[in-house]
A and B are shown apart, each in its own frame.
Chain A
Amino acid sequence: MAINTLNHVKKKPFYQSLPWIGPAIVVIALFVLWPAIEMFTTSFRYVNQAGQIRGWTGISNYQTLFTNSDLPGVLLRTGVWVIGVVLISVLISLPLAQMLHQKFVGRRIVRYCLIVPWAASVVMTAISWRWMLDSYYGIFNRIAQDLGFINQPYAWLGSPNIAFGWLMLVAVFVSVPFTTYVIIAGLSTIPEEILEAAKVDGANDWKRYWEIIFPLLRPALLIGIVINLINVFNSFPVIWAITQGGPGSSTDTTTTMAYKIAFKTSDIGQSASLATLNFLIILVFIGLFLRVNSRNAQKNK
């Protein structure tokens, strides 16, 4: 294990660093800690429909949440959503990044194109997809009918499971650019000499990829995966703009469900308890992120 280089620097008293990190601490306290504490305390409070806090209720909000008949399905779907979207994004991004790492005419333009879904507002993207998939006016139906694949308009968002599949596809579409760019960044850190050396030693392309490129790519890939896990788990606009999690809760994840409980059925307390649950899950992901990060930092020493 490498020696931590910071140990060589003489430690200065904590307060001397305050002017530097003070503003960041203030921002974090105001915009992260305080809301999180409010959320946590609200989950033990009774908030009436009109929005007034009416005292403590112990764990009754959690009891209501865990007896909510929608919860098991929503949790299962959230798992499928997070794992599915991240996995598919990575599987698409790996070869895509490899391709964009090659030198070819027009590479810059292709790379720019890839940024578009990332740069565009997610809500805008999601609404565009909703209209493309619309059963009465959507372009998908138009094309499929003109080409003779179907005789009458098909409801692409018809059954909940198929609709959820489309939601995942849109989420993948939105996450692929970021993932690809993280991998491209990783690829550009791999020294050419190593690959040349491997070539001289007679390793074929496939072997070079799995034995050299992929292992060296792991740090970048892991960070890409963990950041994606967090983003996809929190993803609200894709689902909200396309199906609003409906009908019922059949395309909800925990994020949209928390919103609906709070604002459609006006149960702020129960919503806060679900938000707390979400927060715990996110904490696990962040823990993962920090571990991956520090492991990478140590390896780079």
Chain B
Amino acid sequence: MKKIGKKIGLLSSVVLAATAVLAAPSHAASSITLVAADYDGHGATQAFWNDLAKTFQAANADIKVNVQIVNWNDINQKVATLVSTGQVPDIVNDNLYSGRAAAGLLYKVSDVLPASVVDNIIPAFLNNSTYNGVPYAVPDLASARALFYNKDILTKAGIANPPTTWAELIAAEKAIKAKVPGVYPYAIPLGPEEAQAEFAIWAGGNGGQYYTNGKWTVNSTANIKAAAFLKSQAASGYTEPHPEQCDRTKCAQALFAAGKAAFIDGAIFFPAWLKANGGSGINYGVGAFPHNEGKNAITLGVQDYFSFFNGNKNATSIGKFMSYFFQPGNYANFLKATGGFIPATKDAGAAAAKDPVLGPFIKLLPNAVFYPGTVATWGTVQGAIQQKIGGIITGSPSGVLSDIQATALKAKA
């Protein structure tokens, strides 16, 4: 009995040790890892990257490409975990890069990509991909937001043209509430999923931004006024109940798809989403966001990035793979898989400008405000906005914005 016990003891220790060895990551010199966000959620992004890796490997037998697709909710966290546990990826496709650049984790774009590829990127997008003025990321695609309105509801409420100013908006909302019962005039999602975008649009409509001229301005007077306006919107019953708990996809977009909301902030891919999620019968129009009197109409431009990690010294392989990715045919497939975004390359952009769906959004871009993605601490601030901005509805707008501003000022890269 005793002997058996000893053997079991030894065996368990050996098994444990073996597991520990097996679990250690292995990096062959010719293998690169891509961690990419899942744009569509239905397998198209995954299929695209798998195919691209396969055809690339067929032509470059010495380079193996590992593809990991991660959903948007988890990707930033996944990348941070990979870095902190020493399993540094080579290429990451998500919405952050400057914090990584500040930490010295990234290659400069010029160290990885040939000039011919970089020159084909639309300059405005490339300029949003710099750290200390040097490009540390390349845009993969971009999107813009626009006001979507339900034409049938507006007709029922007797509204001929969608509102262009906040005063007109309130008048329209009053009419909708009075004449079309059961409909929430404006679906405003301030739940954590995408609250930083929603608030950026309303703040922008009042001339405010998160970051202005090199300084955080989350609690600027313009932003506080915009927040107070949102609070009054909710209090007057012009929004869905409890905007602070309403996430973009499952709540706001679902309400619009069900014909229960007259206005919504929609991204460029929203029409495709509507079709796929039971909203194909919605008779919608697209226009500019209403803005405060005396301010300019704006849109929110959002771009995502490829960032290239230097931890595995795979610059050459990364460059080859990315050049292959940006070949027009492959890039067109990427745009198709991700579901109708604005292209980041000049040649694809020129074609998209003539597209009936993309064209209007591309025209909005010159008036676009972008997130301060070039600031190294943007990731932290974005997280704080997503978690806390809903508080402007339930609490004090200036208090909440000042709290986020304090987080922004304290954040270290």
Chain A interface residues toward B at CB < 8 A: 18-20, 22-23, 26-27, 30, 46-53, 64, 69, 135-136, 153, 155, 157-160, 243-244, 246-250, 260, 263-268
Contacts and interface: CB of A to CB of B under 8 A. Distances in A.
B394 A48 contact: no
A49 B240 CA distance: 35
Contacts of B411: 265, 267
Contacts of B245: 155, 157-158, 243, 246-247
For the complex of A and B, the 4 pairs showing the least CB-CB separation, nearest first, are A51-B84, A19-B9, A247-B390, A23-B12
A265 B255 CA distance: 30
B5 A20 contact: yes
B35 to A, nearest CB: 13
Contacts of A265: 380, 383-384, 387, 407, 411
B242 A23 contact: no
Contacts of B254: 136
A136 B245 CA distance: 12
A139 B410 CA distance: 44
Given A23-B16, A51-B83, A155 B242 contact: yes
B413 interface: yes
B380 A260 contact: no
Interface string B376-413: 11011001101110110111000010010001001111
Given A23-B12, A246-B192, A266 B383 contact: yes
Given A260-B387, A265-B384, A20 B103 contact: no
Contact of A247 (B244, B410, B412): B244
B191 interface: yes
A126 B383 CA distance: 24
Interface string B1-45: 000011011101100100010000000000000000000000000
A249 B242 contact: no
B379 A52 contact: no
Nearest to B184: A136
Contacts of B412: 46, 48-49
Contacts of A23: 8-9, 12-13, 16
Nearest to A137: B254
A135 B241 contact: yes
A50 B384 contact: no
* Majority secondary structure of chain B interface residues (helix, strand, loop or mixed): helix
Contacts of B10: 19
A23 B15 CA distance: 10
A244 B251 CA distance: 15
Given A22-B9, A26-B13, A135-B241, A49 B77 contact: no
Given A247-B244, A248-B390, A248-B391, A49 B192 contact: no
Contact of A50 (B83, B388, B393): B83
Contacts of A260: 387
B84 A19 contact: no
B99 interface: yes
Contacts of B5: 19-20
Given A30-B20, A52-B84, A157-B245, 9 more contacts: A19-B8, A30-B16, A51-B81, A158-B241, A160-B394, A246-B387, A247-B244, A263-B77, A268-B84
Interface in B159-187: none
Contacts of A264: 383-384, 386-387
Interface string B221-244: 000000000000000000011101
A160 B388 CA distance: 13
Contacts of A22: 9, 12-13
Given A50-B83, A52-B84, A267 B380 contact: yes
B322 interface: no
B99 A249 contact: no
A20 B255 CA distance: 61
Nearest to B258: A136
A47 B244 CA distance: 31
B383 A244 contact: no
A289 B311 CA distance: 47
A57 B408 CA distance: 20
A1 B410 CA distance: 58
Nearest to B407: A265
A53 B103 CA distance: 10
| From A23, A51, A157, A247, residue with most partner B Cβ within 10 Å | A247
A246 B189 CA distance: 14
B238 to A, nearest CB: 16
5 contacts: A19-B9, A248-B400, A265-B384, A266-B99, A267-B380
A49 B16 contact: no
Nearest to A53: B84
Nearest to B19: A30
A158 B99 contact: no
Contacts of A247: 190-191, 244-245, 388, 390-391, 393-394
A46 B190 CA distance: 32
Contacts of B12: 22-23, 26
Contacts of A52: 83-84, 103, 105
Contact of B103 (A18, A50, A64, A267): A50
Contact of A18 (B9, B99, B383, B387): B9
B387 A249 contact: yes
A155 B242 CA distance: 8
Contact of B377 (A49, A64, A158): A49
B100 interface: yes
Contacts of A267: 380, 411
A135 B386 CA distance: 21
B357 interface: no
B80 interface: yes
Given A136-B251, A246-B192, A265-B380, A50 B105 contact: yes
A274 B323 CA distance: 45
A207 B20 CA distance: 59
B103 A48 contact: yes
A47 B99 CA distance: 12
Interface string B189-204: 0111000000000000
Contacts of A135: 241-242
A136 B105 CA distance: 45
Nearest to B77: A263
Contact of A49 (B8, B103, B244): B103
A260 B383 CA distance: 9
A275 to B, nearest CB: 15
A153 B20 CA distance: 53
A17 to B, nearest CB: 10
